Structure 1
Amino acid sequence: MTTDSCLLPGLISVEQARDQLMQAIPPLRETETLPLEQACGRVLSAPVKARLDLPPSDNSAMDGYALCGESGEPYRLLGKSLAGHPFSGSLKAGECVRITTGAVLPAGADRVVMQEQAELRENTLIPQAETKAGDHIRRCGEDVRAGQVLIDSGRALKVPEIALLAAAGVREVTVLRRVRAALLSVGDELRPLETPPSELGDGDIYDSNRIALKAALAQLDLEVIDLGCLPDEPAAIRDALVQARDRADIVVTSGGVSVGEADFTRRVLEELGQLDLWRLAIKPGKPFAFGRLPRDKGETLFFGLPGNPVSALVTLYQLVLPALEKLKGIAAENRGTFFQGRARLLNPIRKAPGRTDYQRGYTYRDSDGLQVVRSTGIQGSHILSGFAEANCFVVLSRESGNCETGDWVTIEPFQKPLT
């Protein structure tokens, strides 16, 4: 069977779907200024410059003694330079001071000898190792120069960058505002978690997708607006979507956007705006909806995820997450990519060509240091127990078929929000 004959007609590849989302989504523009300690995870809207040199002065990289020149004789000890309490004088040839790590290098000093390599006899220091100019000295500005751009716009701040900015004297930064995400469920069969199992009727299920999606979105530094669970009633659905449109940048739902008799969500969405239904070449998660709800200024984006719980989380991860990074204003070169590696398969996997398959797996290094992976339980789109045990996807290409024990396969370790 050729590769082309394996591809099911009418299905959009995962890559095509991502590209279409990227082309359709404009980044946010509204900004706010925050104290630096509140800005972790936020996306810079303007470059940030250093306010001073780092280090701000020449200082010692070691506990030891600051020496003036190379002396064939013992050095005369004049005093000490401590962090926050520099030596006030200057050194001449053959003179030294006691110095601690980070303390300012005295005028005239050109090298530092470690305390382990020197012997002090009263006020006389005898180096026990050869020294040369520049030894164990951190030079002023060797890390950062005043006025230098430290971090450019379009980057989400992480802890190391917060540390850099703080050291360079930056007190506050201008960032893009948080994305506001509205979340809702629709379905007469859905019940809140407060309902005792004994009170569930025939066909009733807990509203678990909304809870899982809310937990996932909360990890992505979004402002989540939970609009709850709605019955299959057009008026209630319309009111909720109007609220979402007016309060949020995106709306996320799971299920309820197909061609079924009671799928009123689709009808209401098409009344309020534009809706595209995509059949994706992905497993699990073939049905996916993307739409726009126009408002007075701009538009609210709609993501309709599949109703099966594993499918909803897989499509959120593979499609909505990259789209959110663009919406947040993260520059293309700074957006996260799905890290992929290779692992040896510990069990056979059955797969038919036609869709890219994201099977749930558990990967680790075996006793020989080899990266291996095994499937976690039944791979149905409704099976959550295997997903809960997994720490990666086993990514099987659209064209591939069955895999056997010992085959090398592509793995994609989980990142936020699945970690």
Structure 2
Amino acid sequence: MSDAKPTAGAGRAPMMPMEEALERLLSQVTVLGRTESVSTPLARGRVLAADLVSPLDVPPYDNSAMDGYAMRAADVAAHAAARGGEGAVLPVSQRVPAGSVPKPLEPGTAARIFTGATVPEGADAVLMQEQCEAIADPAGSGLGQVRINGPLTPGLHIRRRGEDLRVGQPVLTAGTRLNAASLGLAATAGAAALTVAARPRVALFSTGDELVLPGEPLGPGQIYNSNRTTLHALLLAMGCEVRDLGIVPDSLDATRAALRDAARDADLILSSGGVSVGEEDHLKPALEHEGRLDLWQIAIKPGKPLAFGEVTTGGGRTWFIGLPGNPVSSFVTFLLFVRPVLLRMQGASQLAPRGLQLAAEFTWTKADKRREFLRAKLSDAGGLQLFGNQSSGVMSSAAWADGLIDLPPGSTVQPGQLLRFLPFHDLF
């Protein structure tokens, strides 16, 4: 998983700003265009591929927002006036539970009603039961009477037909990444299934003879392959189908064979490690044989080296992204570059994360010429705390953190300074 820096030279190109690198990626990757129908409860995290339009008004009828009594406000005012300003007393003419069809409200009466029940025709207000007093009939029969003990105005506690959705109104637009609330809205409109973008097919592998799978014994000079697990989990969180090709040996022939194998049925090939220009980094010559490759030096920390290209053997084209091998570098560059590419492939309308402006609770004096992404946690007071070791090899910093601080080049930080924070819960 070498991240060795290329030898500096007079003709070496300057580091590329992150925005430029991302623009180059997104300008070349296209929407896959494959769609499928998925049961609405199972569509969380998927990208909607077709607008959902409401076939009905929601709610479909005026209904009560409270348990109480439905009545006419004018009747209450008239009865109160007739009683010399004392609280009006109305006979109860019907009982309306949710799911029933009420009769029109008889003039001068009230209807006992429950939350969600249809408001009877003629009623224009509902008074909650806590502001009413039920009075039994003197003869002990019928539905009794109700004393009005609270103020009443037309429209009180009535949810009007269509106040949430109207027939023909767009409910959700294509490109929306579906969450629990949007699925609930779709169900409100009666959608049992949704047309969503098909899952991107991603082939994943790591390079490096020093890598060993967790559970196997470590030999001299070997380390466990954490990137495989991290990237696999991130790909699943992004709604991908993942084919794990494991660890590819450090040889040109093995790397070329892995690329050809991956290109058979993948939309994207993702690797970690081997994206530098050391003697044991074989991705560059392998991609040059099997397609094309650009090696970029991005002006970010961690994660400077990034590779992008395509495998064209077999007549098709499969995109390739190579991430650095250091675990935090791989993790961060996935979030910054692979995540928006996967969203673009699915036709998502929102590719960039939405940052928060939060106050620092630390001091940072080590200004860097690159744009830095620092691992930080939210404090109980709502500020940002910094992990002590920001090395690209310390994965515990990412596991401890709640997100990344997006720190501009050349920046230092003092307590109380507002910083742009990218929460992990919005990134994956």
Matched, 1:97 2:115: no
Which residue is 2:299 aligned to? 281
Contact 1:395 1:409 in 2 (8 A): no
Which residue is 2:7 aligned to? none
Greater CA drift, 390-399 or 74-83: 390-399
Query: What is the SS of the residue equivalent to 2:227?
Result: helix
Read off the aligned partner of 2:235 and give its amino acid letter. L
Cα drift, residue 186 of structure 1:
1.6
Which residue is 1:364 aligned to? 379
Which residue is 1:4 aligned to? none
Matched, 1:388 2:399: yes
Read off the aligned partner of 1:190 and give its amino acid letter. L
Cα drift, residue 359 of structure 1:
2.4
Q: Would you identify which runs of 4 or more consecutive aligned residues in structure 1 move more than 4 Å? A: 295-298, 416-419
Cα drift, residue 178 of structure 1:
0.7
Q: 1:77 to 1:298 in 2, by over 3 A?
A: farther
Rounded to whole Å, the distance in 1 between the matches of 2:73 and 2:275 is 79
Which residue is 2:205 aligned to? 184
Query: What is the SS of the residue equivalent to 2:181?
Result: helix
Rounded to whole Å, the distance in 1 between the matches of 2:348 and 2:271 is 24
Deviation sequence 1:163-200 (CA, Å, 0-9, x none): 1111111111111101111110122111111212xxx3
Deviation sequence 1:369-401 (CA, Å, 0-9, x none): xx543431222221223333222333332233x
Which residue is 1:36 aligned to? 40
Q: Percent identity?
A: 38
Which residue is 2:360 aligned to? 344
Cα drift, residue 418 of structure 1:
6.9
Deviation sequence 1:267-316 (CA, Å, 0-9, x none): 22111111000011111111110011236675211111111111111111
Alignment of 1:298-317 (within 5 A): 299-317=317-335
Contact 2:402 2:424 in 1 (8 A): no
Rounded to whole Å, the distance in 1 between the matches of 2:124 and 2:315 is 63
Contact 2:31 2:347 in 1 (8 A): yes
Read off the aligned partner of 1:195 and give its amino acid letter. E
Cα drift, residue 336 of structure 1:
4.0
Rounded to whole Å, the distance in 2 between the matches of 1:69 and 1:399 is 67
Alignment of 1:74-85 (within 5 A): 74-85=89-100
Alignment of 1:234-249 (within 5 A): 234-249=252-267
Q: 1:81 to 1:372 in 2, by over 3 A?
A: closer
Alignment of 1:318-357 (within 5 A): 318-331=336-349, 334-352=350-368, 354-357=369-372
Which residue is 1:5 aligned to? none
Rounded to whole Å, the distance in 1 between the matches of 2:176 and 2:278 is 43
Rounded to whole Å, the distance in 2 between the matches of 1:167 and 1:26 is 33
Matched, 1:211 2:229: yes
Query: What is the SS of the residue equivalent to 1:145?
Result: coil
Rounded to whole Å, the distance in 2 between the matches of 1:327 and 1:279 is 24
Which residue is 2:409 aligned to? 398
Q: 1:413 to 1:323 in 2, by over 3 A?
A: same
Q: 1:417 to 1:227 in 2, by over 3 A?
A: farther
Q: 1:242 to 1:33 in 2, by over 3 A?
A: same
Matched, 1:150 2:179: no
Matched, 1:10 2:25: no
Read off the aligned partner of 1:101 and give its amino acid letter. T
Choose from 42, 58, 64 the match for 2:62: 58
Greater CA drift, 31-40 or 175-184: 31-40
Rounded to whole Å, the distance in 2 between the matches of 1:404 and 1:85 is 63
Q: 1:295 to 1:69 in 2, by over 3 A?
A: farther
Query: What is the SS of the residue equivalent to 1:325?
Result: helix
Which residue is 2:86 aligned to? none
Deviation sequence 1:32-78 (CA, Å, 0-9, x none): 11221121211111111112111111111111111145223332212
Greater CA drift, 286-295 or 270-279: 286-295
Cα drift, residue 153 of structure 1:
0.8
Rounded to whole Å, the distance in 1 between the matches of 2:56 and 2:358 is 45
Contact 1:219 1:417 in 2 (8 A): no
Alignment length (residue pairs): 399
Rounded to whole Å, the distance in 1 between the matches of 2:401 and 2:195 is 38
Query: What is the SS of the residue equivalent to 2:60?
Result: coil
Which residue is 1:139 aligned to? 160
Contact 1:182 1:224 in 2 (8 A): yes
Contact 1:60 1:103 in 2 (8 A): yes
Rounded to whole Å, the distance in 1 between the matches of 2:426 and 2:120 is 51
Cα drift, residue 224 of structure 1:
1.3
Read off the aligned partner of 1:415 and give its amino acid letter. F
Query: What is the SS of the residue equivalent to 2:365?
Result: coil
Deviation sequence 1:301-340 (CA, Å, 0-9, x none): 1111111111111111112212221112102xx3342414
Rounded to whole Å, the distance in 1 between the matches of 2:390 and 2:53 is 50
Greater CA drift, 16-25 or 262-271: 262-271
Q: 1:356 to 1:67 in 2, by over 3 A?
A: same
Contact 1:50 1:146 in 2 (8 A): yes
* Long gaps (5+) in structure 2: 1-11, 80-88, 137-143
* Long gaps (5+) in structure 1: 1-7
Choose from 16, 23, 42 the match for 1:19: 23
Q: 1:404 to 1:95 in 2, by over 3 A?
A: closer
Read off the aligned partner of 1:209 and give its amino acid letter. N
Read off the aligned partner of 1:335 and give its amino acid letter. L
Contact 1:345 1:409 in 2 (8 A): no
